């Protein structure tokens, strides 16, 4: 069912950069495993180019069934969960959102959302959050953190304009995304407070602006955020969406993995993954369909 490509991100240079970076922390009782998908863009509308909006419902259902079979600890989607009508109408868009949310909740366990730019194409953040349900204390929050099996998970919201006003009803240029100062300060405090927990970071737009990816796809003040992450030795990886072909980079002990967009190509094409985080910091990605398998080592 899954693509046979297998990528192992470990080499002498990476190992040398990583030595000594993993703190002496208590190992989780067993490996954390979670389901991961992004850029579903579900909408009941005709396809456009390579984006097959209606097919995303069947793709979501397929991924959820695999996550149930794998008995993962939680499911997280990395944004652009739904799309809109050609005329960008709020009421039909809310129906698309509700349909996608019901499909995700068939998982039966904790579900977490990351805000993507298309989630505010004709809705406010408040409307999106009112029609979705993050698990536990994360409910109703655009950025938040939680722990699962000894691993800290931090979700960021980069959907702010250059003047730091929030995205709302399409008042944004998708090429310009920023994380406000208050959220960066919160991130630093979270990492300081939970220094003994290996940490994963999740967001929609990309943070690895230092790589060969187009800057239009990255958070405008990404370097500020990355500097904070690099000051805390427990950060293992950043999981991102937004760039549908996918991407990977590595710097100073942190992996940056951009997952392929689910929306691309007609079903049965698909893209999703089961991710496992081992006690030594190794991250194994079991990819399905166009999402390749990966091993990302410390």
The string of pLDDT tens digits covering residues 28-72 is 458 999 999 999 999 999 999 999 999 999 999 999 999 999 999
pLDDT of amino acid 29:
53
Give mean pLDDT, residues 16-22. Answer: 40
Report CA dihedral (21, 24, 27, 32) to the nearest 10 degrees. Answer: -20
pLDDT at 9 exceeding the cut of 50: no
The confidence band for 298, taking pLDDT boundaries of 50, 70 and 90, is: confident
Spatial distance between the Cα atoms of 120 and 159, rounded to a whole number of angstroms? 9
Runs of H (alpha helix) within 194-289 = 222-230
Task: Find tokens 């630093």 and name the residue.
Answer: 188
Give me the residue spans of the domains in the chain: 6-296
For 104, phi then psi, to 5°, come to -65, -40
The reply to whether CATH 3.60.21.10 applies to domain 6-296 is yes
Where residue 41 falls (left for φ over 0; alpha for ψ -120 to 50; beta otherwise) is left
Which own/partner contact pairs does 213-222 have at CB distance under 8 Å and 24+ positions apart?
Answer: 213/243, 213/247, 213/249, 213/258, 216/175, 217/175, 217/242, 217/243, 218/177, 219/158, 219/177, 219/178, 219/179, 220/162, 220/176, 220/177, 220/178, 221/178, 221/179
pLDDT at 25 exceeding the cut of 80: no
Spatial distance between the Cα atoms of 217 and 36, rounded to a whole number of angstroms? 20
DSSP element (H, E) containing 12? helix 12-18
In SS3 terms, 89-131 reads as: CHHHHHHHHHHHHHHHHCCCCCEEECCCHHHHCCCCHHHHHHC
The string of pLDDT tens digits covering residues 73-130 is 999 999 999 999 999 999 999 999 999 999 999 999 999 999 999 999 999 999 999 9
Q: Taking the mean position of all CA atoms in its chain, how far away is CA 220?
A: 18
Q: Which two tokens stand for residue 279?
A: 């006690």
Q: What is the mean pLDDT of the chain?
A: 92
Identify the three-state secondary structure at position 186: helix
For 112, phi then psi, to 5°, come to -125, 145
pLDDT of amino acid 268:
98
- 268 cis-preceded (ω within 30 degrees of 0): yes
Degrees, nearest 5: CA angle 213-225-230:
95
Of 286 and 10, the one with more pLDDT: 286
- Output the CA–CA distances (angstroms, integers) from residue 110 to 133, 170, 211, in the order listed: 9, 29, 33
Spatial distance between the Cα atoms of 51 and 166, rounded to a whole number of angstroms? 26
pLDDT of amino acid 179:
98
């Amino acid at each position: 069912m899954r693509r046979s490509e297998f990528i192992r991100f470990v080499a002498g240079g990476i190992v040398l950069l990583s030595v000594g970076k993993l703190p002496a922390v208590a190992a989780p009782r067993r490996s954390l495993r979670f389901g991961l998908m992004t850029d579903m863009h579900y909408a009941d509308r005709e396809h456009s180019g390579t984006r097959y909006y209606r097919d995303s419902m069947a793709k979501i259902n397929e991924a959820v069934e695999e996550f149930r079979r794998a008995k993962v600890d939680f499911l997280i989607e990395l944004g652009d969960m739904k799309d809109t009508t050609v005329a960008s109408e709020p009421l039909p868009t809310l129906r698309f959102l509700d349909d996608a949310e019901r499909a995700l909740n068939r998982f039966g366990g904790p579900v977490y959302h990351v805000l993507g730019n298309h989630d505010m194409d004709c809705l406010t953040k408040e409307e999106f959050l009112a029609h979705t349900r993050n698990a536990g204390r994360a409910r109703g929050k655009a950025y938040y953190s939680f722990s699962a099996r000894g691993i800290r998970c931090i979700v960021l919201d980069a959907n702010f304009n250059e003047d730091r006003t929030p995205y709302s009803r399409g008042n944004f240029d998708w090429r310009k995304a920023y994380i406000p100062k208050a959220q960066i300060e919160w991130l630093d405090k979270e990492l300081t407070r939970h220094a003994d927990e290996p940490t994963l970071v999740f967001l929609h737009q990309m943070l690895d602006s230092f790589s060969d990816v187009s800057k239009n796809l990255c958070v405008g003040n990404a370097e500020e955020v990355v500097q904070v992450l690099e000051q805390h030795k427990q950060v293992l990886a950043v999981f991102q969406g937004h760039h549908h072909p996918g991407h990977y980079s590595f710097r100073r002990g942190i992996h940056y993995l951009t997952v392929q967009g689910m929306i691309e190509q007609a079903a049965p094409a698909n893209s999703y993954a089961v991710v496992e985080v081992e006690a030594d910091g190794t991250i194994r990605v079991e990819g399905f369909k166009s999402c390749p398998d990966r091993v990302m080592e410390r």
